[in-house]
Structure 1
Amino acid sequence: MESILREVFRKFNILNISGLFQFWACIRDPDSEEVGWNLMLTDLACNPTQDQGLEDYRKRCLERHYPFVGRTTSVGNWLPGRAAQTLIADHRTTHHVLDQEDQHSRDVGAGGQLVLPVFINEGAGNKLVGIIEYITSERKENYIQDFEQIHIYCRFTLPLSARFTDLHAEVTMRFKKLEHQIYRVEYYNTEGIRISISSDENLQICMAESSSRGAKFIKMFVSVEQGE
């Protein structure tokens, strides 16, 4: 796994902005009855521009002593912890409002973030092994291009007659934790606008547009709705 991650970091194209990659390993305590992980920041990191602000951020992260993240742990705006809890990628963009009362927001400051959970196939299902965290010196409008460079797609087949409930079933089959959460499924239409799929009609329009372009697959994005 380490060699794969190093190759991902090495090949990543940082697009005209300083960026730092680091990897949080998710470790279970075999003697604990609690369900969750201790997040340990590993030495697997890459800061090609040697940005001092990002190095300072990494030092602050290293001061965290294997924080535990369980199902009910309050992780606030700590994105690596949130990704370990929800098993869903997350990001901090220019649209994020800085909360001076929140330590994690203060740590990141004006920087942006993208976090992605990493799994390995083990037996009957996927096992969480860690979180990739990508921090940029400035926040971006979005991290879609970055996300697409490093994430792994989950593929499934839907018939043209599929209903929204069929899509919901396929998503929750692959991401079990979403069964009891509110989430969105979105795609980009022919005009490049990100559209939410929330009904049979939305899904049929999405599939019809894709078919008219001769596309062999539809790229969809799943995100968890955050509470107020």
Structure 2
Amino acid sequence: MEAINSRNQVNIRGIRIIIFIRQAPIVESINRIFRNFNFRNGSGLLQFWACTPSNSEDMGCNLMLTDQTFMSTPDEGLQVYRRRCLENRYRFVGLETSVGNWIAGRAAQTRIADHWTIHHVLNHEDQHSIDIGGKGQLVLPVFFGQDAGNKLAGIIEFVTPVPKESYVEDFEHIHDLLENEGLKSEYLGKTIKVEYNDMIKFTLPLSAKFTDLHNKVTERFTDLEHEDFRVEYNDIEGNRLPISSDEDLRVCMAESSSKGGKFIRMYVLLNT
């Protein structure tokens, strides 16, 4: 498959800059994925943010919203969102860049898929929250295969007019389509940082259960294996809350996504 040369123009302070981008064969793969995606009789928008390495000292990438897009049925709200994205289609995302609730940018930083569901609360002071409005969203980082060093190729963004309860089924569907193209994506999840007598970091799928969290903690803090302990976190209002059930963990993860958190900080305390 031959690569394609495309020319894009950017206007910065009245100066027209012409950027030539040599697109990788991934373009055809993304097109096939979009054509084969099953919208399950619902409305939705698929679009792709291509990633190119940055020369900046702040390690990151340049994301460019490409022409690869697919809409299942005409929807004015989705068309408006697409136009707003095109108005700012070139964005640099470094490891420390503040991306707010722009979860496509967050996925480029964390390399983990994420979604915007009915459980998320809009932050009207955040520009992306204003752009996305009451819509739902799923983003997946796309990686080239192991032969290419698992490099980030870009971000697939799936937007629906109304947020869903969960996008896990859509994630798994796109994940399978990526594998058919020799591409891959990380699971839908969150980065967790846990403090005890040290700091540990790991990732959990959004579908994780409380036992998964408990097992991860005891695997890393082996001295807790025979201890009676609890795990707590700070909610969006600063209240310290326990995580002792599957529902507690789900709420914790949903709140973290809603406030644009790159990770969730948790604390281990011994029960006395």
Q: Kindly, what percent of the aligned residue pairs are identical?
A: 50
TM-score (norm 2): 0.59
1:113 aligns with 2:137: yes
Deviation at 1:15, TM superposition (A): 2.4
Deviation at 1:120, TM superposition (A): 0.4
User: Which has the larger share of strand?
Assistant: 2
Write the distance in 2 (CA, Å) between the matches of 1:187 and 1:34. Answer: 32
Write the distance in 2 (CA, Å) between the matches of 1:6 and 1:56. Answer: 22
Q: 1:95 aligns with which of 105, 116, 119?
A: 119
1:36 aligns with 2:60: yes
1:9 aligns with 2:34: yes
Write the distance in 2 (CA, Å) between the matches of 1:12 and 1:87. Answer: 22
Structure 1 counterpart of 2:213: 198
Unaligned runs of 5+ in 1: 154-170, 172-176, 189-193, 204-222
Structure 2 counterpart of 1:184: 204
Structure 1 counterpart of 2:108: 84
Distance 1:133 1:187, change over 3 A: closer
Distance 1:64 1:186, change over 3 A: closer
Deviation at 1:202, TM superposition (A): 10
Unaligned runs of 5+ in 2: 1-25, 178-185, 194-199, 219-252, 254-261, 267-272
Report the residue type matching 1:197 in the other structure: D
Asked if the contact 1:184–1:225 (Cα under 8 Å) also holds between the matched residues in 2, the reply is: no
Write the distance in 1 (CA, Å) between the matches of 2:161 and 2:77. Answer: 7
CA RMSD of aligned residues (A): 3.0
Q: 1:136 aligns with which of 157, 160, 164?
A: 160
Write the distance in 1 (CA, Å) between the matches of 2:89 and 2:163. Answer: 27
Report the residue type matching 1:114 in the other structure: L
Report the residue type matching 2:75 in the other structure: D
Deviation at 1:128, TM superposition (A): 0.1
Distance 1:98 1:69, change over 3 A: same
TM-score (norm 1): 0.70
Asked if the contact 1:185–1:196 (Cα under 8 Å) also holds between the matched residues in 2, the reply is: no
Write the distance in 1 (CA, Å) between the matches of 2:35 and 2:156. Answer: 14
1:24 aligns with 2:49: yes
User: Larger Cα Rg: Structure 1 or Structure 2?
Assistant: 2
> SS state of the match for residue 55, structure 1?
helix
Write the distance in 1 (CA, Å) between the matches of 2:90 and 2:151. Answer: 19
